[in-house]
Amino acid sequence: MTTAFSGIGVYGARPVAIGKAFVLAREPLATAETIAPTQIALELQRLDNALECARRHLEEVRNKIPPSSPVHLAEFIDAHLLMLTDSVLVDATRELIQERSINASWALQMQRDTLVEIFDQMEDDYLRTRRDDVDHVVHQIQVFLSNKGTAESLATADISGRVIVASDLTPADAILLRHRGVAAFVTEHGGPMSHMAILARSLDIPAIMGVHNAIQYIHHDEVLVVNAETGTVLAEADGAILAHYRAHLADAEIRRSGLQRLVFEPSASRDGTPVVLLTNLELPEDVAAARNNGAAGVGLYRTEFLFMNRAGLPDEEEHLATYLAIIRGLDGIPLTIRTLDLGADKPAPLYISGLKASTQINPALGLRAIRLCLQEPSLFLPQLRAILRASAEGPIRLMIPMISSMSEVDQILSLINGIRRELRRDGVAFDPLMPIGGMIEVPAAALMAGALARRLDFLSIGTNDLIQYTLAVDRSDDAVSYLYDPLHPAILRLIKLTIDAATATRTQVGMCGEMAGNHHYTPLLLGLGLREFSMQPSALLEVKERIRCCDVPALQQQVDSIMHQLDDLDQNEFDERLKALSEV
């Protein structure tokens, strides 16, 4: 009988995988023992030896990371290496051995429990998930204290095409497993903001996290279907279900191959209306995917990863080197760099003083994005200088997130003009005509889009936050996710208002939120007047295919009619009118 398990799905381009389960059951390694005073020195030495072995193991893993892997993978390992010397973990464990005359493994477990309790009491979701790092590092030390070495089952077993089922996995595990061809991960712990979730997305491995008691109920070698899109794991699936998902995978592969024919085809509608298709980038390593899918440029490069999983701020030269690497990889197509957008669902690291000094009851409405950058010049100025310097090497646009007032625009432009004067004085090259734009992510920005369009060179609609703030819906909260509606009349009006304001001032306007990459919304957005879409590389060709089938003038007539009758249409009529757009 088929058994279904549910959890939190995480995936990149591939949401579905099928494979035999490889159940990784890690038994508790800590045992409580009291020791004689004469044994304390020996126990301290055992702890030091285990720490050294764990350090060597992590360094070995770090050295095996292929050069083509995302740069932040090594930073995950570096973060764990730093924890091996952290006094809160190591020195406190030594004190417990000495003060309580207990063995090293039990002292380490006691200190682990203390730290985890502190993390569990934190209100911030991101900080709570940092308990995972404590568990990963402590387990690694415990392995060597128990003289069991590393996890030989993973190191020697044939795991190609397998679905790894574990209580949890370390970043080191994930990196090595990906390069040994695993099909998917299923873990009992972890959340959407955990390190493993970040890694699963960037490594393009389907994963389901938070599947409680997975190890207890899933058997080794049974065939699993992992559907990260629905957050579902199917065990003991019958022949019909397996046939369905295997056909799904085959069809998806055929469709991906078929879409490749569009890479070099014009991005224009059936009536000849040109549409600019750009891509969103998370990491410099995503450039190849952008080029392979025929992107005309990068409409959004997120710079947050430069600030995460590290002990201090990136300096101007590190920013510059990263941007130059992307420019060279893009080979002449334009790059839009969004300045730092930390806060809310992308919490800032603790070393950023502004965040450390304030307790945010509601991070989504607090010190985030441009607000944080304007309050913390040490974050913002090196990035602005690096972006301006990089503009001398290729076509760059600078984009400011979460603008909500004209005073913020004035401050930003003043800072940029000051940096321009400094660079001219020092004889440093930059593009004086580099476009500066802003994101429309809050209702206030949409309502003042005309004023913003007159002050800025371009606008970009960030639908993810615009929907969240307009409808008062936390998009990461499952309890209210049913209210998160991109087709809500208020959202459509704000999008239309922004596009019309930009058109009236002849200001370039695009969209870089999730709506832009959903081909079901493409006819509607074209009818609203959108002519620039930016999305994940994997969505680009599907959207291009839909665009090439559309008659834009006819769509504009249909959408104008819908917008004029929004208040008079009931839900069924509204749905039918939107559905009919796909046939225009």
Residues 225 and 322 in one domain: no
546 closest CA partner among 568, 518, 573, 569 = 518
195 closest CA partner among 213, 179, 209 = 209
Question: Does residue 311 register a pLDDT over 70?
Answer: no
Is residue 266 situated within a structural domain?
A: no
Question: Does residue 359 register a pLDDT over 90?
Answer: no
| Domain count across the chain | 3
| Residue 106's CATH number | 1.10.274.10
As a whole number of angstroms, the distance between CA 255 and CA 63 comes to 37
Residues 422 and 549 in one domain: yes
Is residue 290 situated within a structural domain?
A: yes
Mean pLDDT, range 328-337, rounded to an integer: 94
Query: Which of 192, 219, 238 is the last residue before a domain boundary?
Result: 238
As a whole number of angstroms, the distance between CA 53 and CA 61 comes to 12
> Do residues 372 and 342 touch, judged by C-beta distance below 8 A?
yes
pLDDT value at residue 441:
95
Q: What is the dihedral of CA 455, 457, 460, 461, to 10 degrees?
A: 30
| Residue 158's CATH number | 3.50.30.10
As a whole number of angstroms, the distance between CA 122 and CA 117 comes to 9
Question: Does residue 335 register a pLDDT over 60?
Answer: yes
pLDDT value at residue 155:
52
Query: Which of 97, 122, 150 is the last residue before a domain boundary?
Result: 150
Strands (E), 15-99: 16-24
Is residue 108 situated within a structural domain?
A: yes
Three-state secondary structure string covering 284-324 = HHHHHHHHHCCCCCEEEEECHHHCCCCCCCCCHHHHHHHHH
What's the domain range around 181?
1-26+151-238
As a whole number of angstroms, the distance between CA 560 and CA 578 comes to 12
| Residues 436-469 pLDDT 10s | 999 999 999 999 999 999 999 999 999 988 998 9
| Residue 539's CATH number | 3.20.20.60
Residues 330 and 479 in one domain: yes
Query: Which of 124, 150, 176 is the last residue before a domain boundary?
Result: 150
- In which band, very low, low, confident or very high, does the pLDDT at 357 lie, cut at 50, 70 and 90? very low
Beta pairing, strands 458-461 & 436-440:
parallel
Is residue 285 situated within a structural domain?
A: yes
Residues 482 and 562 in one domain: yes
- Which range has the worst mean pLDDT, 272-281, 354-363, 504-513, 570-579? 354-363
pLDDT value at residue 151:
43
Is residue 263 situated within a structural domain?
A: no
Which residues are catalytically annotated? 195, 512
Question: Does residue 323 register a pLDDT over 60?
Answer: yes
Which residues neighbour 160 within 8 Å (Cβ) at sequence distance 6 or greater?
Answer: 180, 181, 182
| Residues 41-80 pLDDT 10s | 998 998 998 898 888 877 876 776 655 555 555 666 777 8
Mean pLDDT, range 149-163, rounded to an integer: 64
Is residue 158 situated within a structural domain?
A: yes
Residues 285 and 177 in one domain: no
Residues 467 and 424 in one domain: yes
As a whole number of angstroms, the distance between CA 410 and CA 379 comes to 18
Residues 16 and 118 in one domain: no
- In which band, very low, low, confident or very high, does the pLDDT at 328 lie, cut at 50, 70 and 90? very high
Is residue 536 situated within a structural domain?
A: yes
Q: Looking at this protein, which amino acid is placed at residue 190? A: G
Q: Which two tokens stand for residue 35?
A: 């020791």
Q: Which two tokens stand for residue 456?
A: 């800025």
Residues 132 and 186 in one domain: no
Mean pLDDT, range 353-374, rounded to an integer: 68
Q: Torsions phi, psi of 283, nearest 5?
A: -140, 155
Residues 175 and 190 in one domain: yes
> What residues are paired with 521 via a beta bridge?
none
> Do residues 259 and 545 touch, judged by C-beta distance below 8 A?
yes
Beta pairing, strands 207-209 & 8-10:
antiparallel
Residues 507 and 538 in one domain: yes
pLDDT value at residue 554:
95
Residues 366 and 463 in one domain: yes
Is residue 251 situated within a structural domain?
A: no
Sheet holding 16-24, edge to edge: 3-6, 232-235, 223-227, 16-24, 163-166, 184-187, 207-209, 8-10
Residues 361 and 289 in one domain: yes
As a whole number of angstroms, the distance between CA 173 and CA 539 comes to 29
Question: Does residue 350 register a pLDDT over 70?
Answer: no
